[in-house]
Amino acid sequence: DIVMTQSPDSLAVSLGERATINCKSSQSVLYNSNNKNYLAWYQQKPGQPPKLLIYWASTRESGVPDRFSGSGSGTDFTLTISSLQAEDVAVYYCQQYYATPYTFGQGTKLEI
């Protein structure tokens, strides 16, 4: 199984500041034939299901504010929130969908 490791486990950022969450996969999730990274990011608030933010490592889901961005390739990925808003307090997960089982990172708790 591909192991996804996020860092840090928790993060406190001031309102308006940048938040950066890292995700590392135990093997590459880049599919060479189409040059796509099979990596998604989700946001989960307490008592709610996960919400898709980013797919293909850097494509923002429709309706997601442009302060959220994803980057990286191969085994190392980053979710960046450019200017933290109060409503961004949540747990963030990366997930690889390169190979089953489609494993998640352990989550990063983002606080203000």
Partner 1 sequence: QVQLVQSGAEVKKPGASVRLSCKASGYTFITYKMHWVRQAPGQGLEWMGIIDPSGGITAYARKFQGRVTMTRDTSTSTVYMELNSLRSEDTAVYYCGRDSLDDGDYGDYWGQGTLVTVSS
Residue ranges binding partner 1 (CB under 8 A): 1, 34, 36, 38, 40, 42, 44, 49-52, 55-56, 61, 93, 95, 97, 100-107
The residue among 10 and 83 lying less far from partner 1, judged by its C-beta, is 10
The residue among 72 and 105 lying less far from partner 1, judged by its C-beta, is 105
The residue among 38 and 77 lying less far from partner 1, judged by its C-beta, is 38
Taking the complex as a whole, the smallest distance from the CB of residue 17 to partner 1 amounts, in Å, to 25
What does the alpha-carbon distance between residue 62 and residue 104 come to, in Å, rounded to a whole number? 22
Classify the C-alpha dihedral 36-2-4-42 as positive or negative: positive
Q: Which residues pair with 76 in a beta bridge?
A: 24, 73
Order of all β-strands in the sheet with 90-96: 10-12, 108-111, 90-96, 39-44, 51-55, 59-60
Taking the complex as a whole, the smallest distance from the CB of residue 100 to partner 1 amounts, in Å, to 5
